Amino acid sequence: MAAIGLECAPTDGSLMNQNAASSVIDLSEIATDRRRDTISGRETGRATRERLGVSEQITGSDQVEIRIPEHVRVITPSFFVGLLASDISLLESIDDAKEVFTLTNASDTTQLNFDHAVSTILGRGSPFDSIQSRQKKFSFLSSWKTKK
Amino acid sequence: MPNRRYFVNRTKEGAANRLNLRRFDRKRRRKRRLQVREIVRRKQSQALLNGLAPDRNSTQRATLRKLSERNNRISLDCFSFLDSPEETILRLVEIAEVDAVGVKYSIDFEDEYCLDVGPYMLLGLMQQEMAETCDGGKMSRPLMKVLEAVGLRTFLKMGLFPINAVNDVLPVRLTTHSGIRQNRLGFESHESAKERVARRFSESINNWLMALRFMLTNNGSDWVRSLLAEVLDNSRHANPADADGGWSVAGFMVARERADGTPRFICHIGIVTLGATFAQSLLNSEEPKILSNIRSYASAHKNSSELYDYDALITTCALMDKVSCEGTYADRDIGGCGMSSLINMMNGLGKSSRSDEQPEMAIISGNSCLALKPPYNQMEQVDQSYLQAFNVEQDLNQPPSDAHVYKLKHRVPGTVISLRFTIDPNNLSESVV
């Protein structure tokens, strides 16, 4: 199992289990207003990360539970990206991320949005990947023109 | 008697002022300072007008001549970014120029129906900066109904319309946000304006469907809310200095009769963001990987057609998933997916078997125009992300079609997104699970 914030995470399963730690990110503080049933925005995600001290809280954890207040119906992918991108991007694969981070009280859409955020961070590259080979050709052409 | 008393008081006040000259002088100077402040404020707050028509203060004579040739009337025909973007922006520029002259003029809205809500929203935003020199004009009754229902009549500073209660237009009421951040830390424990609008937007879409005896499921409603919140979140790139640009959202659904007598339920949505354009935001990115990708794409195709330029091609990139002006982590692109979700929603709700009723979207960003019309009105899924390359092969190695991606003669200081689609109850029945 992967661990957050440990760049040299031990691969020995038994050791990991001995040191297994879990942490909780409780989002109820950002939705004290019960009318707030949508949480959105990458900027809000980043601010929440700082406010809740997410970075310190989850370092070394094998399991991170994200508690969502019951009245919140939607959390957008960009919020999750702002909140967790720097941690998730350290993981190897989408499966690792889904194993480490679990949502409680999440609606279907929030769960889908979280999966989308994870696949955005860890998934395959941008649409421009398809033109990588062509890009090399362009750079070759431009250098050739400069030399000429 | 009252007049006399008034006269006596005034005289006393005048005498007091004469006796206390220093105080009077101080008051006069303060009043003058306030006037100067007002003039400066007005000049500073004309960012939209000056952005639309940068030369408007220097071309006053030419504008006056053009206006007098038309008997001080401006005619708005086919006022739609979806149907004639170039002409529509030209008319808006003309209005901005006439405002600088300061003469009385009238605007004739020649369209029988509202063809696109976007230009009316932009005109309303212009009105907030304009002197009130417009003297009325012509407008059809169906158009009045739409403007009244959506809340655009007061925004456009128009007088009362001679219509009764509007029951046949289902609106997404106009919401505007100045873009001034209330909480500079970004941490909000209360519902933000964007989230509130997203909630109301999903409720309005549900109202549209309920009028046709359908309704969104909870998940559907959440999805609509989520996608609009994502799209509005893009507005924060529009003004890097303030970290949040101003935005407006409005829309409506109305029933019209087809030639064969059957009803057609047309939906319009407009989203206006003022500030930096898509191209400016992307080119301001500090991410070398994203910059290198979009620059390579634009450089590769900029000579393929004279109708588009570098900026128009960069704007095309803004539609793609994972392309954003901010953020790569550990060398991974984590751009958003708001635009592709919006296009997918439009195609999901507006699926139609009629060729003349296909969903359409126009994106006017700066002087770039993207026309998402058939055959390029849908996002194509390539690997795990959506893109629209505006060519038959959906290949970014090929140049986009210049009928769908082109540059305009004038520029809008921001971005206008206009959507138009028809909800067909028969097609919706097929989509119901």
For the cut 80, the answer to whether the pLDDT of residue A16 exceeds it is: no
Chain B contact for A73, CB < 8 A?
Answer: yes
Q: What per-residue confidence (pLDDT) applies to B328?
A: 56
Residue B16 pLDDT level (bands cut at 50, 70, 90): low
For the cut 90, the answer to whether the pLDDT of residue B286 exceeds it is: no
Question: In whole numbers, what is the pLDDT of chain B averaged over residues?
Answer: 82
Fill in the DSSP letter of residue B112: S
User: How close, in Å, is residue B288 to chain A by CA atoms?
Assistant: 14
For the cut 90, the answer to whether the pLDDT of residue A89 exceeds it is: no
Average pLDDT in the A27-35 region?
84
Residue A46 pLDDT level (bands cut at 50, 70, 90): confident
Q: Which residues of A touch B332 (CB under 8 A)?
A: 89, 121-122, 125
User: How close, in Å, is residue A13 to chain B by CA atoms?
Assistant: 26
Q: What per-residue confidence (pLDDT) applies to A7?
A: 41
Q: How far is CA B351 from CA B198, B220, B362, B426, in A?
A: 23, 16, 17, 10
CB contact under 8 A, B185 and A138: no
Can you list the alpha helix ranges (DSSP code H) found in B241-369? 278-283, 288-301, 310-317, 338-349
Q: Which two tokens stand for residue A145?
A: 């023109």
Q: Which two tokens stand for residue A128?
A: 């421009």
Query: Given B189, B290, B293, which is nearest A29 (Cβ)?
Result: B189
User: How close, in Å, is residue A112 to chain B by CA atoms?
Assistant: 10
Q: What per-residue confidence (pLDDT) applies to B79?
A: 96
Q: What is the pLDDT of residues B87-130, one digit of tens each?
A: 999 999 999 988 888 788 899 999 999 999 999 999 999 998 88
Q: Which residues of A touch B396 (CB under 8 A)?
A: 127-128, 130-131
User: How close, in Å, is residue B401 to chain A by CA atoms?
Assistant: 18
Average pLDDT in the B184-211 region?
81
Q: How far apart are CA B38 and CA B108, in angstroms?
A: 31
Q: What is the pLDDT of residues B41-99, one digit of tens each?
A: 555 568 888 889 888 878 777 887 888 777 788 999 999 999 999 999 999 999 998 88
Chain B contact probe: residue of A88, A128, A134, A138 with most B CBs at under 10 A? A128
Q: Which two tokens stand for residue A133?
A: 């080979």
Fill in the DSSP letter of residue B400: P
Domain ranges of chain A: 13-147
Average pLDDT in the B384-388 region?
78
Share above pLDDT 90 across residues of chain B, in percent, rounded to a whole number: 34
Tell me what ipTM this predicted complex has.
0.73
The radius of gyration of chain A from alpha carbons, rounded to an integer in Å, stands at: 19
**Residue (of A57, A104, A112, A109) closest to A83 by Cα position:** A57
Query: Given B230, B326, B397, which is nearest A40 (Cβ)?
Result: B230
Q: What per-residue confidence (pLDDT) applies to A126?
A: 61
Q: What are phi and psi of B421, to 5 degrees?
A: -150, 160
Q: What is the pLDDT of residues B131-177, one digit of tens each?
A: 888 888 999 999 999 999 999 999 999 999 998 888 889 999 999 98
* Chain B residue with minimum CA distance to A52: B187
